[in-house]
Structure 1
Amino acid sequence: MPQPNIVLIVADNLGWGELGCYGGGALRGAPTPRIDQLARQGLLLHNFNVESDCVPTRSALMSGRHPIRTGCLQSVPPGLPQGLTRWEITLAQLLSQAGYATAHFGKWHLGDVEGRYPSDRGFDEWYGIPRTTDESQFTSSVGFDPSVVDLPYIMEGRAGQPSRQVRVYDLESRRTIDEQLVERSVDFMQRNVAAQRPFFMYLPLVHLHFPTLPHQDFAGSTGNGDFADSMAEMDHRVGQVMDEVERLGIAEDTLFIFCSDNGPEFRAPYRGTAGPWTGTYHTAMEGSLRVPFIARWPGRIGAGRTSNEIVHVTDLYTTLAGVAGAALPQDRPIDGVDQLPFFLGEQDKSAREGFPFYIKNELRAVKWRDWKLHFYWEPAVNEGKGKLESPYLFNITRDPKEETDVLVFNTWVMGPILKMVQAFNASAAAHPHTSPGKPD
């Protein structure tokens, strides 16, 4: 089989309940017709799981490893050590070695010093922001002092060359960045189709991360405020990429994936929704773990499929490496499993039954089959009870909002769950974790 192109679009802080195909859309004041169309053309997962926030999820995606292993535990202010060490082998490195052209357009958040930019880590080219979007508020904040803080910049770079600052990332450029990311994405696809080279395009959009500000072309378009206008813009941007894939005649040769990096924002006025699930990102609730995921590959992935099987973000590393014919690293634990047979419908079941869920250094919960065991209890951010003497167990099919602890009636579930924890701990003992902020 020829190597397919891979388009991976990752929205930022997009909750499970926002899109029309997940029960939101018009109900949230912003229909999402293009992403809904994508869902009808492929596989929609109801139980795609990520890490607790931006940095951990992006590190898991790029390394195939839980962030507790790589030290990518949280967002860090500019000028301080952060991101993946150069010892980690990124998905882009694997695909580049397999002959792919690789590009990153958007939010990186996995290193902001020479040696750790995307163009140092397997991407042929990149354009976007090295850290996060809340920095776009810096220059307009009361009392901001540029003498003590690194100014935020939009940057760009190419492999083998130093990355450079393009422009200050402020509220004005926040409104236009997704437009620029898609323009560059279209150009990248055109160049590589002309060169007849398979490509991996990673497009981590800025929407809907706060400050959630739409492009001027979308401001006021829904009549329901900035958040809804931004969702309408995000849907349009995804549609632009879909349209270019069609125009180039490569749809059947392209695995097209759209997902989110974590659950919805919890702060007003940017608070989102996780639909039927309780919680937001920065918690171990289902509203944090579950996010949208759609995969389209005409002729390979059946149209209109949905599934509630468990898939984890680390699985994308392993699955996409397999799609590309790239060999996985053999000298370290890889937490992702190959989900391609499941995606293609060759098997009904996911290749995984569960996973441990850490927030920073704490094992907060474990998910297994229809069950979720919480060792800590924090249903809302900063409203936790701390570690539980007796864990809470929920059947998340019968009790999706995680309201009724049933451990006393189902203690048998502790057996397989604690065996998963024991196996992970044994793996960590054999391959010690990287400490946060470790230098290269």
Structure 2
Amino acid sequence: MKGHFLKSVLSFGLTACFFTNPLISQESEAPRGNSNLETASSSKKSKKPNIVFIMTDDVGWGDLGCYGGGETRGCKTPHLDRMAKEGLRFTNYYGQASCTAGRASFITGRIPIRTALSTVLAPGDLNGLEKEDPTVAEALKKMGYQTAQWGKWHLGDQPKNFPTEHGFDEMKYMLPYYAGVYAYDYLPLQPDFPIHDEEFMATWNKVDLSQWQGRAGEAPVRMKKKFTYEDLATVDDIIREDVVNYIHSHAKDEKPFFLYVCFMKVHNPNNPSPRFKGKSMGGGNYLDSLMELDDNSGQVLQAIRDAGISEDTLVVWTTDNGAWIDAWPDAGYTPFRGMKGTSFEGGFRCPAIVWWPGHIEAGGVAHQMMSHMDWWPTFVKLAGGTPPTRITKDNSGNDIVFDGIENSDYILGKSEKSNRNSFIYINDLSFGGLRINNFKALYTAKDTWLGPNLNLAFPSIYNLWWDPGESYDVTFNGAAPTRGDLRTSPGRFAGADHGWVGVLIEPVLNRYFSEIVKYPNRPTLPVAGSANQLIDAANNPTELKRLFLLLEPSSQIKK
């Protein structure tokens, strides 16, 4: 399709629109735009807000009551439902397809593959957050913020990758991995773990399963040499208690604070707190743990209320990626197609709530796009600073692409439109596709995380307003490719061929790939969790040589 064809194609407005979900009650919603809080907010003394960002793990889009779950799912979530009633809930909010990527996108404000953080980091992984990578914590620290991190980090397991090397004044109860790593050698769950294989155990015992604390400028300290599955039952309670104490201790400080609170729940294998074991209506470890997560999140909010700093504190609650349906029944729920590890909406679409009494109008629902990457520039703007430009500098002075989009007017209700109207889907190392306005073009597809990845000859195109479940490919009148259990168009689209959408997405597509050429991504080193990368590298001697040189910079390979 020629670039000049249909240059005057109709623009697609970002008017608020949402599909009817049988799980969502059609409550009245506060209108977006022209907030009557604007005058009140501007009359307050100009002050940098405290910022609390609560990052959870694998919570499903449809798990919370305010998203149609709650009692419908067999688990009340009163505290997060209250947060939504007092704040703003997002319906088109994007994380990433997996844990590391979701966290990296928030911390760096960038598409994770740019920093080699789009794959799931495993113990001993050579990828990780590097010194040259600017972070939201560094940006806020330069603006006078006190910065602290708790819980799951998952951006590298070497001290150079730790939070205190990347803008955080302190890290507390920090864990480098996802919950599963700490349960691998728990025999009641893993009865076939090879404890009698001496060679294997010699290697396994080198895996560092420590829990860490530390301060910037000091060597990190092991709090616990071996964190275990049993510890998962109480770690979030301990984190919550420490966060609450921090809030009360620093509530009246001259300097504002930025707290990055990363609960371990509800990534499988869940081990609920004794406070909630067997307490959910639906039963099971997942729903019990969801109750626990709701309670701990609510206690953090209550600490802010009790400290008298509600109007001075902005709180964001979200999760890293879509629900991991493969782990059912220890898994979240999403009404969307796909799951964690896929490029369908179920992999990327996440619940998110922002709360800031006196500034954000209560009971709002935001139907336009926002993502993890957008909080960094938005926080900086709300704190009176200047957000990074699209092309900015890394910590080594090199030009890099910054993907975050400043969106303060949208969340404050001063604008009806989000500044984000497009989103790039990168799943592992695959270019999944892109969305612009209500149209999504899918280039690689799989329905499950472990399923076969299908490269499409022409992108499947979905109108996410007509078809949020991605069942009808509107390309070529629904003549969608089929392979095994993957059908990019389970339903047959009876309308006209929508090939013209290619022109709509062309500018975003061209910009993304032209920027990669000019500002290359950091190479991702081989990891056991990325089958595509290992297979591609094994079949490409030139690539193997390049990766070997990256792994062993001092090595000399003779031609």
TM-score, normalised by the number of residues in structure 1: 0.96
1:20 is matched with which residue?
A: 65
Q: Indicate which of 205, 208, 222 corresponds to 2:280.
A: 222
Amino acid at match of 1:370: N
Question: Cα deviations across residues 88-141 of structure 1 (Å, max 9, x unaligned)?
Answer: 011111111111011101110112212221111111111220122111213314
**SS of aligned partner of 2:238:** helix
Q: Indicate which of 179, 189, 194 corresponds to 1:143.
A: 194
Instruction: Tell me the distance in 2 between the aligned counterparts of 1:109 and 1:183.
Output: 22
1:365-404 to 2 correspondences below 5 Å: 365-384=433-452, 386-404=454-472
1:203 is matched with which residue?
A: 261
8 Å CA contact 2:80, 2:298 repeated in 1: yes
Q: For residue 326 of structure 1, report the CA deviation from its aligned partner.
A: 4.0
Matched, 1:296 2:355: yes
1:26-105 to 2 correspondences below 5 Å: 26-105=71-150
8 Å CA contact 1:94, 1:326 repeated in 2: no
**SS of aligned partner of 1:139:** coil
8 Å CA contact 2:268, 2:331 repeated in 1: no
2:26 is matched with which residue?
A: none
1:155 is matched with which residue?
A: 212
Specify the structure having the higher radius of gyration (Cα). Answer: 2
8 Å CA contact 1:392, 1:406 repeated in 2: yes
1:282-321 to 2 correspondences below 5 Å: 282-321=341-380
1:129 is matched with which residue?
A: 175
Instruction: Tell me the distance in 1 between the aligned counterparts of 2:347 and 2:235.
Output: 26
Q: For residue 11 of structure 1, report the CA deviation from its aligned partner.
A: 1.1
Amino acid at match of 1:334: F
Matched, 1:175 2:207: no
Instruction: Tell me the distance in 1 between the aligned counterparts of 2:243 and 2:176.
Output: 17
2:517 is matched with which residue?
A: 429
* Aligned alpha-carbon RMSD (Å): 1.6
Amino acid at match of 2:213: E
Amino acid at match of 2:286: F
8 Å CA contact 2:336, 2:346 repeated in 1: yes
1:343 is matched with which residue?
A: 411
Amino acid at match of 2:405: V
Amino acid at match of 2:302: D
Q: For residue 71 of structure 1, report the CA deviation from its aligned partner.
A: 0.8
1:222-301 to 2 correspondences below 5 Å: 222-223=280-281, 224-265=283-324, 266-274=326-334, 276-301=335-360
1:358 is matched with which residue?
A: 426
Q: For residue 328 of structure 1, report the CA deviation from its aligned partner.
A: 4.2
Q: For residue 63 of structure 1, report the CA deviation from its aligned partner.
A: 0.6
5+ unaligned residues in a row in structure 1: which ranges? Answer: none
Q: For residue 404 of structure 1, report the CA deviation from its aligned partner.
A: 0.8
Instruction: Assess, with a 3 A threshold, how the Cα gap between structure 1 residues 279 and 31 changes in structure 2: closer, same or farther.
Output: same
Instruction: Tell me the distance in 1 between the aligned counterparts of 2:80 and 2:247.
Output: 20
**SS of aligned partner of 1:421:** helix
Instruction: Tell me the distance in 2 between the aligned counterparts of 1:271 and 1:188.
Output: 31
Instruction: Assess, with a 3 A threshold, how the Cα gap between structure 1 residues 259 and 395 changes in structure 2: closer, same or farther.
Output: same
8 Å CA contact 1:95, 1:326 repeated in 2: no
Matched, 1:165 2:222: yes
Instruction: Tell me the distance in 2 between the aligned counterparts of 1:424 and 1:385.
Output: 22
Amino acid at match of 1:376: T
**SS of aligned partner of 2:234:** helix
8 Å CA contact 1:135, 1:169 repeated in 2: no
2:165 is matched with which residue?
A: 120
8 Å CA contact 2:96, 2:322 repeated in 1: no
5+ unaligned residues in a row in structure 2: which ranges? Answer: 1-45, 394-399, 477-496, 526-549, 554-559
Amino acid at match of 1:8: F
**SS of aligned partner of 1:411:** coil
Question: Cα deviations across residues 168-221 of structure 1 (Å, max 9, x unaligned)?
Answer: 211111111101111111122122224332000111111100111101111011
Deviates more, 1:74-83 or 1:246-255: 74-83
Amino acid at match of 1:126: M
Q: For residue 399 of structure 1, report the CA deviation from its aligned partner.
A: 0.9
**SS of aligned partner of 1:2:** coil
8 Å CA contact 2:194, 2:201 repeated in 1: no
**SS of aligned partner of 1:10:** strand
Amino acid at match of 2:194: G
Q: For residue 254 of structure 1, report the CA deviation from its aligned partner.
A: 0.6
1:418 is matched with which residue?
A: 506
